[in-house]
Amino acid sequence: MTLRVMEKGDLASFVERLIASEPGAVGPVRKDGKHVFARLASVEDLDLAYTTTLLPPKKYLFPPQETLLRFRLGAPPVVEPVLEAPPLVVIGVHPCDLRGIWATDRAFGDDHVDTNYRARREAITLIGADCLPDEHCFCTSVGSHLPEPASFDLFVTDIGDAVTVEIGSERGRALLERYARSREATAADLAGLQKRRHAKEAAVKARLNVDVQMLPLLLESVSTSPLWEQLGAKCLSCGNCNLVCPTCYCFDVGDLMQLNLEEGERIRRWDGCTLVDFATVAGGHNFRREAKSRVRHRYYRKFQYLMTRYGRSFCTGCGRCSRSCLAHINPPETINALLAEAEREEA
């Protein structure tokens, strides 16, 4: 890993040149008091001093709705695959959202390679940026507070008067060489980086009271906990927690016919396991009819089934579901309550 340093003014020039020269650049933009990832028209649009965005950058890899193919009925029918993957630079991605992209890379690239996801993934350049947490972040509990070396092209950390830039790929190195003025890092810069990271770790207040690696085991022992009943009674089945989550990747596929009933499109849209009809199958049977089983399923996806398979939590600790849940259901309280219950039973 190579570490370079840029003066703050040089970072602004770098971003300005990226926006002017690359086919597309997006980043965190302030909108109606919140932050969203959106197209950057100039460096003034970019606001790197943000805690979180409403939706994660996942939306550029796996859009909320996309056309998979167009078809025309006839003899023979005509089918044209649709694959849109324009080059894009995504600026300001936090470590937890880089971890989210690691998770969707697994989901769309391991057993069944998803061609559309893969093409967009290859077309996207990721420039990460470090952050300071709010009261909902619990990234340190799931090990997603630091940028992983293979997860970004460049990663920027504010160390006061300057920023450090970690180079994560040859693509990132080429961008830096082409558009930025930077220098080698000194011992003082490294000390500044360490200080900033320690300050971030100290600022994370929400936490899981259990080693994340123990969670599959814990969840195995609490599948009949009364807590699921209580959470099910509170849950509105609104699906917000699924929509905002960087690692939720469920979708539905349907055909949209034109009025001429001859042509149409196959569409996929985000779906969510907390929605009432998510588990309804042919014949009308819903195998997760009760809210408690849907809420429980969501937790088992994040901390049990996929963790057992990949050895890492499929929750990044980003806190988006905690912020958006009108019923105040959130992972730290849920996991800590389950842990307390397991400990009481053990005593």
Contact residues: ligand SF4, CB under 6 A: 235-241, 244-247, 274, 295, 302, 315-321, 324-327, 329, 331
Contacts for 211 with CB less than 8 Å, ≥ 6 apart: none
CB 154, min distance to ligand SF4, A = 23
CB 251, min distance to ligand SF4, A = 16
CA–CA gap between residue 80 and residue 265 (Å, rounded): 9
Q: Which is nearer to ligand SF4, 160 or 226 (CB)?
A: 226
Q: Which is nearer to ligand SF4, 91 or 318 (CB)?
A: 318
Query: Length of the chain in residues, anyone?
Result: 347
CB 150, min distance to ligand SF4, A = 19
Q: Is 188 exposed, middle or buried (0-12, 13-18, 19+ CB in 10 A)?
A: exposed
Q: Which is nearer to ligand SF4, 155 or 314 (CB)?
A: 314
**DSSP bridge pairs for 72:** 78, 263
CB 135, min distance to ligand SF4, A = 13
Q: Which is nearer to ligand SF4, 164 or 240 (CB)?
A: 240
Q: Which of 215, 225, 242, 231 is nearest to 304 (CA)?
A: 215
CB 117, min distance to ligand SF4, A = 18
Structure tokens at 211: 């080693």
Q: Which is nearer to ligand SF4, 2 or 223 (CB)?
A: 223
Q: Which is nearer to ligand SF4, 19 or 243 (CB)?
A: 243
CA–CA gap between residue 297 and residue 244 (Å, rounded): 17
Q: Are 153 and 169 in contact (CB under 8 A)?
A: yes
SS (H, E, C) 99-151: HHHHHHHHHHHCCCCCHHHHHHHHHEEEEEECCCCCCCCCHHHHCCCCCCHHH
Q: Are 185 and 166 in contact (CB under 8 A)?
A: no
Q: Which is nearer to ligand SF4, 27 or 332 (CB)?
A: 332
Q: Which is nearer to ligand SF4, 180 or 325 (CB)?
A: 325
CA–CA gap between residue 328 and residue 231 (Å, rounded): 10
CB 152, min distance to ligand SF4, A = 18
CB 303, min distance to ligand SF4, A = 9
CA–CA gap between residue 10 and residue 183 (Å, rounded): 11
CA–CA gap between residue 158 and residue 166 (Å, rounded): 12
CA–CA gap between residue 114 and residue 302 (Å, rounded): 21
CA–CA gap between residue 220 and residue 92 (Å, rounded): 37
Q: Is 125 exposed, middle or buried (0-12, 13-18, 19+ CB in 10 A)?
A: buried
CB 236, min distance to ligand SF4, A = 4
Q: Which is nearer to ligand SF4, 112 or 328 (CB)?
A: 328
Determine if the peptide bond prior to 76 is cis (ω within 30°).
Answer: yes
CB 137, min distance to ligand SF4, A = 8
